């Protein structure tokens, strides 16, 4: 997968200490555990560059394909998020991480923005870590919220609270979570920060203080919703250009969405080594098209992601295909699409995706020396393409149901089409109980 022209048949991969040690034909097993993959396709584990994992518990409650989605922010972030208890959050994050693995996603940037209490936030970190998925747990910096179940509060006040710089409680909890759960060099899940919604709401000086403080916590990734707002004037932060002028961009910085980011600003991101994540399926209805095509042309490392796991399918191959179809929303994107091959499309979810989230040296390709985050796809289904390159077959035909085996750092977490670490029956029962409790509590939050 490191070379678009290199596809190997009947080839062995030797894994040792969590990394790929050798790739070749007829490698000696020497007592190693053997995974028989005859007739399967081996590919890198996929990367999701932007997902709100906590929403997995409520998948389907607010479908994107519905007029009701217009109330997404109010319903999901201002009501549902405050109706969770720590035990619900643990289950949500656990099942969300497992949902990633089930679909062949081995690394996820989790922007955990239901940051509504110390116990809740610790439960979120524990739940995602328990799933075994790799990536970055990005603790959301924010102010408030200052209401809960049983309260009456106005939407305007909730927005005003949220748009303020992060409060001290969140900074203290971020440091606590980092120290409690993310020590040790061998962990595959890292600590990161979800920066607050400073774009269009806070000054450049306030944003700079937040960047500096987040970096002082040794966060692996700083991720941010980049929803630039027209008509905003200095000293309010307008977007990437202001961050560039303030010297705040860097290889640890990953933006999501950014449909208003200019070509000049993409050059700023590229030169700083920053990454972009386009949530290509969820962004399809946006007024402006996704920027993954323009970013790709500019040489920016690009990833894709699900984003709103409450609203969209968790079958990640559908999102891979959406990365191609989304390009046709503009003439410029359509012209780019004509130059791409299936390897390039899959690249958004593998090699380029790994680079975008800052793990390009470790992940994204099946390559000697890289971590063994790998996926085996069954190909015996009648509808699975039998002709074309391996990339052709994967991008055209693969679905979540074809994911037979998933390894993270050489550990098998899915085999024979089944997740191994947890009883799905037991987890489904726990999730059903939590779902009922969350929805009942949500009904008692009166947001005017």
Phi, psi (deg, nearest 5) at residue 222: -110, 115
Distance (Å, rounded) from C-alpha 116 to C-alpha 249?
28
In a domain, 448, yes or no: no
Measured between its terminal Cα atoms, the distance across the chain in Å is: 52
In a domain, 90, yes or no: yes
Segment 425-445 shows an average pLDDT of 98
- Whether 405 and 25 have beta carbons less than 8 Å apart is answered as no
Write the pLDDT tens digit of every residue in 7-37: 999 999 999 999 999 999 999 988 899 999 9
In a domain, 15, yes or no: no
Please report the pLDDT score of residue 2 as a whole number: 55
Say whether 355 sits in a helix, a strand or coil: helix
In a domain, 14, yes or no: no
Segment 34-44 shows an average pLDDT of 97
Q: How many domains does the chain have?
A: 1
Please report the pLDDT score of residue 38 as a whole number: 96
In a domain, 5, yes or no: no
- Whether 68 and 62 have beta carbons less than 8 Å apart is answered as yes
Q: How many CB atoms lie under 10 A from the CB of residue 27? A: 14
pTM listed for this prediction: 0.97
Distance (Å, rounded) from C-alpha 359 to C-alpha 369?
13
Q: 436 CB contacts (<8 Å, ≥6 apart)?
A: none
- Whether 442 and 80 have beta carbons less than 8 Å apart is answered as yes
Write the pLDDT tens digit of every residue in 57-97: 999 999 999 999 999 999 999 999 999 999 999 999 999 99
Write the pLDDT tens digit of every residue in 155-173: 999 999 999 999 999 999 9
Average pLDDT, the chain: 96
Distances (CA, A) of 382 to 23, 46, 104, 357, 379: 30, 24, 20, 36, 8
Q: What is the CATH number of the domain that holds 336?
A: 3.20.20.140
pLDDT at 4 over 70: no
In a domain, 17, yes or no: no
Please report the pLDDT score of residue 339 as a whole number: 97
Please report the pLDDT score of residue 130 as a whole number: 98
Please report the pLDDT score of residue 392 as a whole number: 98
Distance (Å, rounded) from C-alpha 191 to C-alpha 167?
19
Domain that holds residue 256: 42-441
In a domain, 262, yes or no: yes
In a domain, 10, yes or no: no
Tally of CA atoms within 13 A in the half-sphere of 241 that contains its CB: 15
């Amino acid at each position: 997968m490191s070379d678009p022209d290199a596809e190997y048949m009947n080839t062995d991969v030797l894994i040792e200490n969590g990394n790929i040690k050798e790739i070749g034909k007829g490698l000696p097993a020497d007592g190693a555990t053997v995974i028989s993959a005859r007739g399967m396709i081996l590919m890198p584990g996929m990367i999701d560059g932007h997902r709100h994992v906590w929403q997995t518990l409520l998948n389907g409650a607010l479908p994107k394909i519905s007029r009701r989605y217009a109330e997404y922010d109010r319903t999901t972030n201002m009501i549902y998020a405050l109706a969770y208890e720590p035990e619900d959050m643990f289950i949500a994050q656990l099942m969300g991480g497992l949902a990633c693995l089930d679909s062949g996603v081995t690394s996820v940037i989790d922007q955990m923005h239901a940051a509504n209490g110390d116990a809740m936030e610790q439960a979120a970190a524990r739940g995602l870590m328990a799933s075994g998925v790799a990536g970055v747990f990005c603790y959301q910096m924010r102010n408030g919220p200052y209401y809960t179940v049983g309260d009456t509060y106005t939407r305007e006040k909730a927005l005003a609270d949220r748009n303020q710089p992060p409060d001290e409680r969140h900074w203290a909890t971020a440091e606590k979570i980092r120290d409690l759960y993310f020590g040790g060099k061998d962990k595959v899940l890292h600590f990161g920060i979800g920066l607050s919604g400073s774009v269009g709401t806070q000054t450049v000086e306030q944003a700079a203080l937040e960047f500096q403080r987040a970096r002082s916590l040794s966060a692996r990734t700083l991720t941010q919703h980049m929803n630039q707002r027209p008509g905003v004037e200095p000293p309010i932060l307008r977007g990437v250009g202001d961050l560039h002028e303030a010297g705040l961009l860097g290889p640890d910085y990953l933006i999501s969405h950014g449909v208003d980011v200019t070509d000049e600003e993409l050059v700023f991101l590229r030169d700083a080594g920053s990454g972009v994540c386009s949530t290509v399926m969820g962004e399809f209805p946006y007024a402006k098209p996704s920027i993954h095509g323009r970013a790709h042309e500019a040489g920016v490392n690009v990833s894709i992601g699900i984003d709103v796991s409450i609203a969209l399918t968790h079958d990640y191959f559908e999102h891979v295909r959406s990365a191609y179809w989304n390009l046709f929303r503009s003439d410029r994107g359509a012209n780019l699409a004509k130059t791409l091959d299936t390897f390039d499309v899959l690249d958004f979810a593998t090699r380029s995706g790994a680079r975008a989230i800052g793990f390009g040296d470790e992940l994204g390709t099946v390559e000697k020396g890289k971590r063994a985050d790998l996926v085996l796809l069954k190909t015996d289904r009648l509808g699975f393409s039998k002709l074309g390159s391996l990339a052709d077959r994967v991008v055209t035909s693969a679905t979540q149901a074809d994911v037979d085996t998933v390894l993270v750092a050489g550990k098998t977490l899915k085999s024979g089409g089944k997740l191994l670490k947890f009883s799905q029956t037991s987890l489904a029962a726990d999730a059903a109980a939590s779902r009922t409790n969350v929805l009942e509590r949500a009904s008692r939050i009166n947001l005017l």
